[in-house]
Structure 1
Amino acid sequence: MPENERRAEIMDAVERLLGRGGVNAVTMRAVASEAGVSLRLVQYYGKNKDALLTATLDRLADRSIERWRSRSERQGASGSAIDQVKAFLDEALPTDAASRGFHRVGVSLEALAITHPGVAGQAYQVHLRALADHLVRALRSDTHLSAAAARLLALEVMGLAHGLGTLLMADQLTESEAESLTADYLERLRPRLSH
């Protein structure tokens, strides 16, 4: 098996463990067992748990941004700031098995960034900054927002997305209620973006 496939297999195992049991479920031995490979091979691709989590997070961060871009294209977003925010919020809502797993992994990594601000926690913070940067660029491309105002708005949108996603996952909101709240937010946001 080619090296890149083996590495992907190990990162997939880390993601599955994170999705099922959070950060505490990820141990070198658990990853080896989940991937069906030797502990030595897992150690070859990640010298420790932080290295495995960081590599997995880097891969997830790239996929997160790509999923948002793909959704934007599928929805035929015109490139307007409001369309980009809508695509971002739609993508962030955990409404299917894949997006629920993705959200679960994100929450696990968020907990890591808060409780263990080491290498993997810092990697998650880098991911959040990169995600905010992408959203800032989308907002500034179609508005007259200053960089500071666009950054605050990007963080507001990310906070709403995260909160709605968590409430949806915790069965405190239905999918239609979350979509209704998103639609209401977008209507209130529209005038702010047109100035």
Structure 2
Amino acid sequence: MSEQERRAQIMEAVERLLARGGINAVTMRAVAAEADVSLRLVQYYGNTKDELLSATLERLAEKSVQRWRARVQHEGSKAPLDVIKLFFDEALPTDTVSEDFHRLGVSLEALSISDPGVAGQAYQSHLSGLADELADILRPDLTATIARRLALEVMGLAHGVASLLMARQLSERDALALIKSYLARLEPLLST
């Protein structure tokens, strides 16, 4: 097995542990057992839990952005409102994969709030980069400051609705209706 494949195997083990049990489920020994490798090999790819979480976060962040970009590219529309809709489509946990991904994000968010170490800083950096990317898409129609605020608003709403959906406080139908209503309110702002 190549070094890249072995690294992926270990990061996938961290992802599965996070998805099942959150941050507390991730220990060096648990990762080794989940990946079916030695503890020493896990330590080779991350000397500490924080390093493993940080590397896993970077991998997850890239996968998330790639999935969103693929949706945008597939749809072919560059209109800001369409891109925002696709952002919501990607962010809402409507299947097992997206539910696991949201669970991972919430775990890492909690880490960034409670322990702003390496992994917490990596998550904060991911959020900032995502806001920048979304703001860049909105920028042709808005000032840089307003585009950045709107990007953060969209991210906040997506995260909140996703969490309410996962906590079964909103049905998928109600979540989609809420997003549709929000997009309708945004339309005048983005079409001027």
TM-score tier, shorter chain, comes to over 0.9
2:170 alignment partner AA: L
> 1:1-195 to 2 correspondence within 5 Å?
1-74=1-74, 76-141=75-140, 143=141, 145-195=142-192
Q: TM-score by structure 1 length?
A: 0.97
Structure 2 distance, partners of 1:77, 1:151, is: 23
1:61 alignment partner AA: A
Structure 2 distance, partners of 1:34, 1:19, is: 13
User: In the TM superposition, what whole-angstrom CA distance separates every residue of 1:98-140 from its partner, at most 9, and x where no partner exists?
Assistant: 0000000000000000111111101100000011011011111
CA shift for structure 1 position 18: 0.5
Identity %: 65
Structure 2 gaps, min length 5: none
Structure 1 distance, partners of 2:64, 2:111, is: 18
After TM superposition, which residue ranges in structure 1, 4 or more long, deviate above 2 angstroms? Answer: none
Structure 2 distance, partners of 1:148, 1:70, is: 27
CA shift for structure 1 position 73: 2.6
The answer to whether the 8 A contact 1:14-1:52 is kept is yes
Structure 2 distance, partners of 1:71, 1:100, is: 18
Q: TM-score by structure 2 length?
A: 0.98
SS in 2 for 1:159: helix
The number of residue pairs the alignment matches comes to 192
Structure 1 gaps, min length 5: none
Structure 1 distance, partners of 2:70, 2:102, is: 17
The answer to whether the 8 A contact 1:139-1:150 is kept is yes
Q: Pairwise CA RMSD of aligned residues? A: 0.8
